[in-house]
Amino acid sequence: MGNIKAIETRYKGYRFRSRLEARWAVFFDALGLTWEYEPEGFETDAGWYLPDFRVFTPQGNTVWYEVKPQEYVSDLKMNAFEKALRADLEPNQCSNARVALLSGDPITVLSNPKVTLCPRCGFICEPAYGFDVTHYEHPRFSLFEISVGCWSCDMETPSGSDNGWENGVLGLGVTAHKGFVMAFIKETPEDWLHHAAVKARSARFEHGETP
C-alpha cells in the first residue's frame, strides 16, 4: 500500500494532494463559505503541521480542517495544533478554537448521526446540546426550525435571547440565543446539506471539467 498514491487534483487554481480534498473544496463552495488550502504551517509538540483547510465563517472567524480517508478517527498533529490553539486563547474563549478532522467525503461525514453543521458558523462538529428540528405547516410552504447547540457560537453570543438576526451559511437567517443557534428554512435539513454533499461527491475534475 505504500506505493499507492492519491491523485493530485487541480481546482480553482489550487493543486490538491488528493481528489478527496478537492471534493471538500467543492462542498465549501456549495455552502458559500470562503476557504484557503494549506495556507500556512505551524510548529507543534508533535512536529511541523500544515492544516489542509482554513475556512472562514460568515461572521469572519476561522475554522481549521484536516481531511483524511474514512478509516481515520484521529490525527496526532492536528490534536497538538488544536491544543496549542486553545492555550493561546482566554480560558472562557477556548471553545472558539474551531478545529476538526473530516474523515471521508462530505456525504460520509454528515451521515454520522453524531455530526452536524452549524447553520450560523458552518462548523462541522458534534453539537454541544443536540440537534432539533421542528416542522411548521404554513398555508404556502413547509417551514422547518433548526436548533443546534454550537459551543463556538455560544462563546460568541451575548447573554439573553434578543440578539437579532444575522446571515448564516447560504445566507440563512439565523439568531443565536445563549446556548443554541436557531434558523428557519423552507426545506428539510437533510435536503439543505445533502445537495451540497452530493455536488461534492459527483464533481468531475478530468479533462478540464469544472465542478
Angstrom distance (rounded) from CA 17 to CA 13: 13
List, in order of start, the domains of the chain with CATH numbers: 9-203 (3.40.1350.10)
The tens-digit pLDDT sequence of the chain (211 residues) is: 456 677 889 999 999 999 999 999 999 999 999 999 999 999 999 999 999 999 999 999 999 999 999 999 999 999 999 999 988 877 666 667 899 999 999 999 999 988 989 999 999 988 877 778 777 765 655 677 788 888 888 888 887 667 788 889 988 888 888 778 888 776 666 677 888 999 999 998 875 556 6
Angstrom distance (rounded) from CA 102 to CA 109: 7
- Residue 13, CB half-sphere, CA atoms under 13 Å: how many? 3
Angstrom distance (rounded) from CA 111 to CA 116: 9
Residues 6+ positions from 42 with CB-CB distance below 8 Å: 48, 49, 50, 51, 81, 84
pTM of the model: 0.88
Dihedrals phi, psi of 101, to nearest 5 degrees: -95, 130
The SS3 assignment for 151 reads helix
Amino acid letter at 118? Answer: C
